[in-house]
Amino acid sequence: MDKDLEYLEKRVDKLEKIFDTVQQIAIQIKEMALETKYLRQDLNDVVTRVAAIEEKPVKRYDSIVSTIITGIVGTIIGAVMALIIKK
């Protein structure tokens, strides 16, 4: 009976160590999940900022094209008006 009791005590001690290890791992996983959440938020912020930076050249290009078209149309209208006034 004493041997059985000693055997069971050893098994309980081993199980307690295993339980403590599992508990520590669970805490670490929870901390990693929280860190992953914050990293994901930071990544989303970076993606938003990069998208805004990528849009700047497109806006500039649109502005340049618009200015050129306005200049050409203005020149054509000016030439037509000059021809009309000369006659």
pLDDT at 87 over 80: no
Distance (Å, whole) CA 62 – CA 74: 18
Instruction: Please give the mean pLDDT across all residues of the chain.
Output: 91
Encode pLDDT of 27-65 as tens digits: 999 999 999 999 999 999 999 999 988 888 888 888 898
Picking from 73, 75, 67, the residue whose alpha carbon sits closest to that of residue 83 is 75
Q: Where are the domains of the chain?
A: 1-62
